[in-house]
């Protein structure tokens, strides 16, 4: 298992969250692929997922050499995709902070688990030390974790964004995963979370050129 202290070298990503019309998912994926090309990103790094509970789409678009502004991206989305969406689109810019290859690196990872949170005043330093030295490396070492990464929302909120690419959704119920979540340090840090969102999603197929 390898750890890289400043992300995976992939650079910033644009996080887009959309509630789609159920019968327009293919058109939505095509439009998101066009957006990658519009901003000169790498289509090979484009990925989109659908929340297993709500159906909400989260798309991760690689930023090109000139990172677009959130208003620019949102403006194009509103122009191109309004007929495909049930409500407003959310756009954030994510900057990588930590990337960890998992115990199951190299295996397919059709599921992504996300924790998106803020922290109480004065708790940021402790949160980041916990994530970087215990929590994320520990969860990456769990069988079934393919890749783990932590990012910061530099445009958008909450600011702390962690995601885990998994071989199966029930990795979260395994004994090794639960053991990492219930450490003494975790029991101190987790109550400081604020405005937290957690969700499991399945990766969507994209056949763009």
Residue 30 scores a pLDDT above 70? yes
122 in any annotated domain: yes
The answer to which of 28-32, 109-113, 192-196, 197-201 has the lowest mean pLDDT is 28-32
Within a domain: 209: no
Q: Residue 185: enclosing H or E segment and its boundaries? A: helix 184-189
Residue 139 lies in a domain: yes
Residue 42 lies in a domain: yes
pTM: 0.87
User: Is 150 within the bounds of a domain?
Assistant: yes
Q: Is residue 18 within 8 Å of residue 28, measured between CB atoms?
A: yes
96 bridge partner residues: 151
Instruction: For residue 194, give its domain range.
Output: 3-203
Rounded CA-CA distance 96/150 in Å is: 6
Confidence class for position 2, pLDDT limits 50, 70, 90 = very low
Q: In a 3-state reduction of DSSP, which class is residue 197?
A: strand
Q: Which residue has the higher pLDDT, 21 or 207?
A: 21
In a domain, 208, yes or no: no
The number of distinct structural domains making up the chain is 1
Assess if residue 131 is contained within a domain.
yes
In a domain, 68, yes or no: yes
What is the structure's pLDDT at 85? 67
pLDDT value, residue 83? 67
- The CATH number assigned to the domain holding 77 equals 3.30.70.100
Among the ranges given (74-88, 96-110, 146-160), the one the predictor scored with the smallest mean pLDDT: 74-88
- Look up residue 134 and give its two tokens: 């215990």
**pLDDT, greater one: 65 or 38:** 38
Condensed to tens digits (0 to 9), the pLDDT of residues 92-134 reads 889 999 999 999 999 999 999 999 999 999 999 999 999 999 9
């Amino acid at each position: 298992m390898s750890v890289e202290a400043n992300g995976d070298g992939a650079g910033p990503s644009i996080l887009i969250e959309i509630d789609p019309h159920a019968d327009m998912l293919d058109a939505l994926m095509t439009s998101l692929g066009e957006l990658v090309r519009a901003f000169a990103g790498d289509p090979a790094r484009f990925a989109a997922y659908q929340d297993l509970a709500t159906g909400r789409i989260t798309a991760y678009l690689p930023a090109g050499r000139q990172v677009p502004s959130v208003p620019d991206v949102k403006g194009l989305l509103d122009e191109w995709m309004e007929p495909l969406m049930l409500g407003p689109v959310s756009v954030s810019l994510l900057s990588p902070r930590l990337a960890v290859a998992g115990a199951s690196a190299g295996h397919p990872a059709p599921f992504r688990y996300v924790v998106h949170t803020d922290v109480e005043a004065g708790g940021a330093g402790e949160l980041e030390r916990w994530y970087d030295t215990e929590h994320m490396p520990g969860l990456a070492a769990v069988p079934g974790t393919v890749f783990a990464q932590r990012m910061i929302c530099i445009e958008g909120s909450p600011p702390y964004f962690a995601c885990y690419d998994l071989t199966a959704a029930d990795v979260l119920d395994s004994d090794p995963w639960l053991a990492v979540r219930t450490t003494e340090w975790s029991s101190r840090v987790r109550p400081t979370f604020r405005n937290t969102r957690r969700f499991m999603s399945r990766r969507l197929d994209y056949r763009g050129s």
